[in-house]
Structure 1
Amino acid sequence: MSKKYKNSLAIFEQLESEVRAYCRSFPTVFTKAKGSKLWDEEGKEYLDFLSGAGALNYGHNNQKMQDALVRYILQDNISHSLDMATEAKRNFLEKFNEVILKPRNLQYKVMFTGPTGTNAVESALKLARKVTGRTNIISFTNGFHGMTLGSLSVTGNAMKRKGAGVPLQNTISVPFDNYFEEDFDTVEYLKQILEDSGSGLDKPAAVILETVQGEGGINAARFHWLKRIEEVCREYNILLIVDDIQAGIGRTGTFFSFEPAGIKPDIVCLSKSLSGYGLPMAITLFKPELDQWKPGEHNGTFRGNNLAFVTAVESLNYWDDDSFEKDIQKKANVVTDFLQRLVKDFPELKGNRQGRGLMQGIKCGAKDLAAKVCQEAFKRGLIMETSGPIDEVFKLFPPLTIEIEELKKGFEIIEQSIDAVVKQQKLITV
């Protein structure tokens, strides 16, 4: 490495686009990661409560997945294969069917899309329009579904939508659960605009939603609300798409985030932690009768990432029985108790606990406070990020495999960070 750039962020500032984001929040050069921890080139250790924005649910360099991957590579097995049949893909399909689909009585066809979440969403929107012959898609306030044009059209964030540079059409955004006051029935609102011939809404092809809005503020839909949305979709012959890219793969406690609501979406989008190792991989699941694609009608050069198939198979071993789910719930309860105490002990936050599972955070009523808490936490060796339309939520996304002791160490840093920020705020206002 050039001495000029050693221990420096200068090369990134000089050569990398201004679009970079995370490196601004965490201004150091990382060199190593294992489990729930990262280290930078100065040797400083950080606890990771970001988990690759949900792409590392099983932690960094999970040993069993790493061993399986290294063995596979050293045997000169297939790494890239477009959508050709390979042993690695077969192993994934068999394991996914036996461990995930069958026990949940889900009969889905598996579509390997391009390797990112937004590609899974794009394919879901295209399929819904193809099958129904309709163009409109209903999405929800504060939803986030990706950064390509189709996905942006069903995303709520104004700044991200503006980046499209063109009109985002054939979608309508309706209020998510509890978007207004709790007594405002957003499902009845949806039914009204579907029923009313004067609403100006053409019958949609699909409704797309996240059960917990990861980027939109960790807003968790109530289970009975999700059930009623499904009922509306069935009543009006509209397809239901659940974007489980961030909230799924165990993040909210069950493999699919919609399981506790007792619903069965027509289409499900998965990515992020699907490979288990941070390797790019995405799939779109849909009911067999919707499989009306012509060969090659939606494709992608990197939809055959066999390295990801290998680690994904290993990751599915966590789901052989219900012990992993129970462990997640145990840790989730610890997080819930901690956050509820913070809200009580620090009224200056004007806070509300958000989310469920290991996808929780505190929505701060005090301006800019969440971002300042994250900054202070980073100084103290903890990585976490903000969420929400104005970054008003600091969110906890630890690996699902984190040890309780590490979790509590992170809690100490968060509490210290909040205390420091609150004291700074009081000094400013004096």
Structure 2
Amino acid sequence: MKASSYKKKSMEIFEDIESDVRSYCRAFPTVFTKAENYTLQDVDGKEYVDFFAGAGALNYGHNNHKMKKKLIDYIMNNGITHSLDMATSAKAVFLEKFNEVILKPRKMNYKVMFPGPTGTNTVESALKLARKVTGRETIMSFTNAFHGMTLGSLSVTGNKFKRHGAGVPLNHSVFAPYDKYYGDKFDTINYIEKLIDGAATGITTPAAIILETVQGEGGINVAEFEWLRRISEVCKLREIILIIDDVQAGCGRTGTFFSFENTGIEPDIVCLSKSIGGYGLPMAITLIKPEIDIWKPGEHNGTFRGNNLAFITAVEALTYWENDDLHKDVMRHEETVKIFLDELVIKYPIIKGEVRGRGLMQGLSLGIEGFAEKVCKIAFEKGLIMETCGANKEVLKIMPPLTIDSVGLMKGLKVLESSVETCIKEIEELLLIQN
């Protein structure tokens, strides 16, 4: 049976056969059939505005027409699909395009590694290489960090619920407070330096420090550029490998291709996945400074480290970065979202809102327990796909495709406001009943 021919409106097949581990299937309980750019459609023909974008894997929208055409042409001409890490024309074109469009204009010098095709795969490769280069074991990460669901990545992830799923001790990691974790007046860099250098802290010099410049799953927490520069200096002075996890915040999500552009830092290793493939096809790359690319052949590998179909769409995605049109669009939309959220906070003080984020990776933290989850549920019913984030799922996460137009953006934001209003009315009615 073709996937497009599935007409049952019931969720029973998923409840009966699919594992209980499913999550988005529960949050958005309908059967989706079609998608284009920033919209999704279900079996009933109902259309949804997408403020989720595949958790950041669809920065260029659903079924991007240019990428789809290139992909279809490649398949119809019997292009290589699976090749492990063998040399293929698709890989060669991607490497050349990435170097010419992304690395050279930014004066960046990195070797490109293809690990397994997901975000956690690139993180695992980065951690392993940092330990190999330095001969040390400990990795430092941060409060509210999220780096993936495999054991190495989980060991540097802060969320207790996700860590508990490992079922075994997660060792060789130490956590430090992220920028402003203890408020504006607490100098977390000074604390980190004392933690690393202290003779009695119990902490050895780390092999690496890994961080997200904007913590996505952790609650859209944004690190100040000066804080990032100071972290970089901490690493340089102690020969610690600096790893930037740009899996979600990269590929234009914050406006620039890399989220750390304009900060002045030069990471030793950069992790990219999600939208690097452009079309939503699995793909990840690990960027490594040449002097620390000391892998032996096959020392880190994976069966699906050569997704040629993703190379094809990734090359087309990179054309968006041949000029600054997309960058300008994201910056314009950033301002629209920020103004809208700021006004929402002022208009509805009961929600105790706080606006966070950069580019089209923004969030609204709500100070009422369970309120954000309720808003997302009602938003879905009204035709908007969005999720929560943060340690207690207290942040509404706004991440539409970067290719969304102004009409679509405002349509989604208005549904968001309507959902907030509905939730407030329910709270006020409950208070009246209790009184």
Range of TM-score over shorter length? over 0.9
Identity of aligned residues (%): 62
Match of 1:74 in 2: 76
- Is the 8 Å Cα contact of residues 218 and 390 (structure 2) preserved in structure 1? yes
Cα deviation per residue 1:311-335 (whole Å; 9 max; x = unaligned)?
Answer: 0000000000122211110111111
Paired position in structure 2 for 1:417: 419
Q: SS of the residue aligned with 2:33?
A: strand
Distance (whole Å) between structure 1 residues aligned to residue 7 and residue 19 of structure 2 = 17
TM-score (norm 2): 0.98
Determine the structure 2 residue equivalent to 1:287: 289
Q: Partner amino acid for 1:48?
A: D
Alignment partner, residue 63 of structure 2: 61
Q: TM-score under structure 1 normalisation?
A: 0.99
One-letter code of the match for 1:68? K
Q: 2:346 aligned to 344, 347, 371, which one?
A: 344
Q: Which residue of 1 is the match for residue 216 of structure 2?
A: 214
Do the aligned partners of 1:30 and 1:40 also contact (CA within 8 Å) in 2?
yes
> Which residue number corresponds to residue 172 of structure 2?
170
One of 110, 114, 136 as aligned partner of 1:112: 114
Q: How many angstroms does 1:262 deviate by? A: 1.6
> Aligned-pair RMSD on alpha carbons?
1.2
SS in structure 1 of the partner of residue 363 of structure 2:
strand
Supply the distance in 2 between the matched residues of 1:398 and 1:112 (Cα, whole angstroms): 27
| Aligned counterpart, 1:30 | 32
Contact 2:268–2:289 (CA under 8 A) maintained in structure 1: yes
**Preserved CA contact (<8 Å) 1:350 1:365:** yes
Measure the CA separation in 2 of the matches of 1:338 and 1:258.
26
Give the whole-Å Cα distance in 2 for the aligned partners of 1:144 and 1:196. Answer: 27
Find the counterpart in structure 1 of residue 376 from structure 2.
374
Distance in 2 separating the partners of 1:193 and 1:75: 57
Alignment partner of 2:130 out of 124, 128, 131: 128
SS in 1 for 2:217: coil
SS at match of 1:58: coil
Name the counterpart of 1:355. 357
* Equivalent residues in 2 for 1:156-235, closer than 5 Å: 156-235=158-237
Checking the alignment, whether the CA contact within 8 Å between 1:361 and 1:393 is kept in structure 2 is yes
Is the Cα–Cα contact under 8 Å of residues 212 and 355 in structure 1 kept in the other structure? yes
Secondary structure of 2:262 counterpart: helix
Which residues of structure 2 form unaligned runs of 5+? none
Residue 376 of structure 2 is aligned to residue 364 of structure 1: no
Instruction: Report the alpha carbon displacement of residue 260 of structure 1 after superposing the two structures with TM.
Output: 2.3
Displacement of 1:382 after TM fit?
0.4
The letter for the 2-side match of 1:265 is P
CA distance in 2 between partners of 1:148 and 1:196 (Å): 31
The aligned residue for residue 270 of structure 1 is 272
* Partner SS for 2:126: helix
Aligned residue pairs: how many? 430
| 1:322 corresponds to 2:324 | yes
* SS in structure 2 of the partner of residue 173 of structure 1: strand
Aligned counterparts of 2:101 and 2:132: Cα–Cα separation in 1: 30
Aligned residue in 2 for 1:250:
252
Question: Of 403, 428, 431, which aligns to 1:429?
Answer: 431
CA contact (8 A) 1:5 1:11 kept: no
Q: 1:98 aligns with which of 86, 100, 103?
A: 100
Q: Aligned pair 1:383/2:388, yes or no?
A: no
User: Equivalents in 1 of 2:41, 2:189: separation in Å?
Assistant: 47
Q: For residues 415 and 5 of structure 1, what CA distance do their matches in structure 2 show?
A: 32
Question: What amino acid is aligned across from residue 51 of structure 1 in structure 2?
Answer: A
Report the Cα offset of residue 5 of structure 1. 8.0
Is the 8 Å Cα contact of residues 197 and 205 (structure 2) preserved in structure 1?
A: no
CA distance in 1, matches of 2:275, 2:183: 34
Pick the aligned partner of 2:298 from 296, 299, 303: 296
For 1:362 and 1:106, the matched residues in 2 are separated by 34
- For 1:68 and 1:300, the matched residues in 2 are separated by 26
Mapped partners of 1:427, 1:356: distance in 2: 35
Residues 4 and 196 (structure 1 numbering): CA distance in 2 closer, same or farther, change over 3 Å?
A: closer
Determine the structure 2 residue equivalent to 1:137.
139
Q: Output the CA distance in 2 between the equivalents of 1:104 and 1:267.
A: 15
Q: Which runs of 4+ in 1 moved over 3 A?
A: 1-5
Q: Structure 1 residues 4, 269: CA separation in 2 closer, same or farther (over 3 Å shift)? A: closer
Is the CA contact 2:7–2:43 (under 8 Å) kept in the aligned structure 1? no
**SS class of match (1:260):** coil
